[in-house]
Structure 1
């Protein structure tokens, strides 16, 4: 990568190089195990002019999202997060039954179904054919399309401007930052609001969350770099909220530049935190690679020691972040014979690169392993409760991020 995709600068500096891995959602069917599997470099760099952290766009969104393995509704806590957001946004913005809400990357309707329940008009824009079909089956109107300025203008012409445009966990997934932001501006009413949730680079670095670096995440935002990205498409940052989701996220509230006004104190407070952490100078990035290497060493040491003692370790979850971790650490079925997942789409498939079988969750209770390695560590509170039955045979949970921790399961 020679140029920043936001500002065009050539001042790009390495943050961490994770080697080459397959796309994290490219789960393998059994008949693919003897076929070649493409792998792509996974190297995070930061632009020292605008401070946008980014990886090269080596795979296109069309390759990743035309058929997608992630269904948001399988996370109980995420559905509740969406329900709370809809209720709070309706109160904050005064949205009644006449309002029009658009969600970009609406997945299986996990959020917009709460909009439907409140009697508001809505539309999902979701590029993945399979998850978009699930949303329509759930009664959520959904357009199968990628957002571009042209798509935004066409939706506005057909349905009218949106009072609220929601873009949760998608702003990192698009290599054309400027074009996507222009699409958001095309969708939103001239006096409307845009709400974006995206992982915060501050917590990613502070908490060693390197497994959230993968090929479908093209960039990694601070509030400072996100504000610049929004401005590139005619939007201005008005407010920001710090959220616990995905290990630490930011919710960006933006409006068309002409009506935005001055940002809130929250914005200046978070900008000050980012500056204090060194994220607008190289000092905030220089130690990250060494801390990533320690996560790898500690996890491998644990798994090898458990194997030598004859103890069993299995996985829980098959998230994209887990595949970055498994590939970077070189973990294969000899150390982790299988993982389980609630999503039936993944059952009978294998993790990309590491070829670990993915089974239904019931397998854990049947096998009673000594340890369960939790790959979606960001759902720790939810999964500690879901996996409480592991306590019945004295099993324990292992969390690899931000550092290796082995916890008793509460009964």
Structure 2
């Protein structure tokens, strides 16, 4: 194993603290990304279990406007690609077509499938967000995916024409078992669609805050091919997406039905090889660039404090907690952050103990700067925060490098 970057020790990124927990001890775990020189899968040790993280979960996908729109567009495109809208076909709308989403969260994606009249099921381990999905009319099973769960769902509901696994493939310590679960769900001639952050853009764009304990693996297309094969799936196509700073959408099928991969697969593999991601030299400069992000952000916050200027945060995403803990940012430098998710209001960020308030506080307090922690939603949040222009406030984006921007009303 080769070292990629060592971020010290941090608490689990979604373990937001209630006020009555502030005087209790808080566990922190080493956060050291390494890469396997045999298969070139980047990974961190599984020091916490999914059961600890996902039984009660603070992230609700529906609070991101752009993410809901991404899901709507995906469903429309996937229905066409897989042939679920072909009149008279075996998988057509109104027939017995079946879509399963693994880690379906609050139903943000499957609600678009429900609206099309296509039979579907979400498999979501978090009790609270799964309940929200059912309340929204999305059938949801509260379980972790395993080979046994996949087989049980298939036995009860039949094989799925399409299995969706968006932003979950990196969250599974048992990659082989999870992939076997996907294979158990999907029809022998069906499709599996996986979205996961691309290690290539993570390295190129200094996106180190997306390294946290929920993410056990960090995929290239090359390492994803090996992971899929472990469960009987073969990659047939790949799309490059802007989501999460740069993601890959992997289209896989059961090995026996896969056929030859597309030219796009070959093209992305060539890009990864050219970037040096199949040799240690490709990772050599990353830690130094991460250190510069930290120094630049701290310098800005310290100088703002010395000038008597106020800085508050926008958003309380998991990635933000990696950044805050790695930089050692506390309420003396970031008075509070806000979030659209009411679940987080009145809570505090893990490790750094920064209060999380409703978004309305920004307009009430008129801070000099707003540090945007979900930088991957830059266009959406720049528009949402355009009102800070009214008092001369500015937005700050920490990644890929420190950027202080004026906003227009």
TM-score (norm 1): 0.97
For residue 119 of structure 1, give the secondary structure of its aligned residue in structure 2. coil
How much has 1:236 moved relative to structure 2? 0.0
For residue 320 of structure 2, give the secondary structure of its aligned residue in structure 1. helix
Distance (whole Å) between structure 2 residues aligned to residue 15 and residue 148 of structure 1: 30
Distance (whole Å) between structure 1 residues aligned to residue 49 and residue 95 of structure 2: 38
Q: For structure 1, which segment, 305-314 or 91-100, has the greater mean C-alpha deviation from structure 2 after superposition?
A: 91-100
User: Per-residue CA shift, 1:268-309, capped at 9, x if unaligned?
Assistant: 000000000000111110110000000000000000000000
What does residue 377 of structure 2 align with?
A: 379
Q: How many residues align structurally?
A: 400
Distance (whole Å) between structure 1 residues aligned to residue 395 and residue 287 of structure 2: 26
For residue 170 of structure 2, give the secondary structure of its aligned residue in structure 1. coil
What does residue 77 of structure 2 align with?
A: 88
**In angstroms, what is the RMSD of aligned CA positions?**
0.5
Structure 2 spans left out of the alignment, 5+ residues: 85-93
The verdict on how the C-alpha distance between 1:34 and 1:113 changes in structure 2, with shifts beyond 3 A counting, is same
Contact 1:370 1:395 in 2 (8 A): yes
How much has 1:347 moved relative to structure 2? 0.1
Distance (whole Å) between structure 2 residues aligned to residue 410 and residue 249 of structure 1: 29
Distance (whole Å) between structure 2 residues aligned to residue 102 and residue 88 of structure 1: 16
Contact 1:207 1:402 in 2 (8 A): yes
What does residue 347 of structure 2 align with?
A: 349
User: Per-residue CA shift, 1:100-122, capped at 9, x if unaligned?
Assistant: 00000000000000000000000
Distance (whole Å) between structure 2 residues aligned to residue 90 and residue 187 of structure 1: 18
Contact 1:377 1:400 in 2 (8 A): yes
Distance (whole Å) between structure 2 residues aligned to residue 147 and residue 49 of structure 1: 27
How much has 1:410 moved relative to structure 2? 2.0
For residue 97 of structure 1, give the secondary structure of its aligned residue in structure 2. coil
How much has 1:93 moved relative to structure 2? 1.3
How much has 1:97 moved relative to structure 2? 4.5
Q: Which runs of 4+ in 1 moved over 4 A?
A: none
For residue 172 of structure 1, give the secondary structure of its aligned residue in structure 2. helix
Distance (whole Å) between structure 2 residues aligned to residue 130 and residue 351 of structure 1: 20
Distance (whole Å) between structure 2 residues aligned to residue 152 and residue 288 of structure 1: 38
For residue 171 of structure 2, give the secondary structure of its aligned residue in structure 1. coil
TM-score (norm 2): 0.97
Structure 1 spans left out of the alignment, 5+ residues: 1-11
Distance (whole Å) between structure 2 residues aligned to residue 388 and residue 160 of structure 1: 49
For residue 67 of structure 1, give the secondary structure of its aligned residue in structure 2. coil
What does residue 125 of structure 1 align with?
A: 123
How much has 1:94 moved relative to structure 2? 1.2
Distance (whole Å) between structure 1 residues aligned to residue 53 and residue 177 of structure 2: 19
User: Per-residue CA shift, 1:247-280, capped at 9, x if unaligned?
Assistant: 0000000000001000000000000000000001
Contact 1:97 1:119 in 2 (8 A): no
User: Per-residue CA shift, 1:298-343, capped at 9, x if unaligned?
Assistant: 0000000000001110000000000000000000000001000000
How much has 1:98 moved relative to structure 2? 2.9
User: Per-residue CA shift, 1:214-235, capped at 9, x if unaligned?
Assistant: 0000000000000100000000
Distance (whole Å) between structure 1 residues aligned to residue 3 and residue 78 of structure 2: 38
